[in-house]
Amino acid sequence: MILRQWRSIRVPNEKLWFSSTPQRNPNPNHSQWLENLSQLCHQKDLPKAVATMVAMEDQHCRADPITYSSLIKLCIEKHAVNEGRRVHQHLLDDGQPPKLFLSNSLLSMYVKFNLFDDARRLFDEMPERNVVSWTTMISAFAHLDSREEAMKYLIAMHREGIRPNMYTFSAVLRACQTLRTLWSIHCCIIKCGLELDVFVRSSLIDVYSKYGDLDYGYQVFDEMATRDLVVWNSIIGGFAQSGDGYKALELFIGMKRAGFLANQSTLTSGLRACTGTVMLEMGRQVHVHVLKYDQDLILNNALLDMYCKCGSLAEANAVFQRMKERDVISWSTMISGLAQNGRSIEALRLFNSMKAAGTKPNYITMVGVLFACSHAGLVEDGWYYFNSMAKVFGIEPGREHYGCIVDLLGRAGKLEEALNFIDAMGFQPDSVIWRTLLGACRVHQNSSLAAHAAKEILKLEPEDEGTYILLSNIYADSRRWSDVEQVRKAMQDQGVRKEPGRSWIEVGKKTHVFIVGDFSHPEMNSISKELNRLIGRITEVGYVPDVKFVLHDLEREQKEESLRYHSEKLAIAFGMMNSMGGKPIRIMKNLRICGDCHEFAKLAAKVENKTIIIRDPVRFHHFQDGICSCGDYW
DNA sequence: GTAGGGTTAG
> What residues pair up with A503 in beta bridges, in sequence order?
A514, A589
Burial class (CB in 10 A: 0-12, 13-18, 19+), A156: middle
Looking at residue A549, its pLDDT comes to: 64
List Cα–Cα distances, A460 to A17, A402, A455, in angstroms: 71, 18, 9
Looking at residue A20, its pLDDT comes to: 36
What residues make up the domain containing A85? 1-128
Instruction: Report residues 380-419 of A contacting strand B, contact meaning Cβ closer than 7 Å.
Output: 400, 403
Looking at residue A560, its pLDDT comes to: 75
The count of structural domains within chain A is: 2
Domain end among A128, A159, A179 = A128
Q: What is the pLDDT of residues A276-298, one digit of tens each?
A: 988 999 999 999 999 999 899 99
A267 touches strand B (CB under 7 A): yes
A233 touches strand B (CB under 7 A): yes
Domain end among A94, A128, A162 = A128
Q: Which nucleotides of B are covered by protein (CB under 7 A)?
A: 1-10
Rounded CA–C1' distance between A337 and B7, in angstroms: 14
A344 touches strand B (CB under 7 A): no
Residues of chain A with pLDDT under 70: 1-28, 548-555, 633-634
Residue type, A41: C
Instruction: Report residues 44-103 of A contacting strand B, contact meaning Cβ closer than 7 Å.
Output: 69, 73, 100-101
A237 touches strand B (CB under 7 A): yes
Give just the sign of the alpha carbon dihedral A568, A572, A574, A579: positive
The alpha carbon torsion through A262, A268, A273, A275 (nearest 10 deg) reads 140
Residue A89 within a domain: yes
Residue A117 within a domain: yes
A177 touches strand B (CB under 7 A): no
Residue A357 within a domain: no
Residue A534 within a domain: yes
Residue A347 within a domain: no
String of DSSP letters for A89-149: HHHHTTSSPPPHHHHHHHHHHHHHTT-HHHHHHHHHH-S---HHHHHHHHHHHHHTT-HHH
The CATH number that applies at residue A31 is: 1.25.40.10
Determine the Cα–Cα distance for residues A562 and A572; give it in Å rounded to an integer: 16
Instruction: Report residues 486-545 of A contacting strand B, contact meaning Cβ closer than 7 Å.
Output: none
Looking at residue A12, its pLDDT comes to: 34
Residue A490 within a domain: no
Domain end among A128, A144, A170 = A128
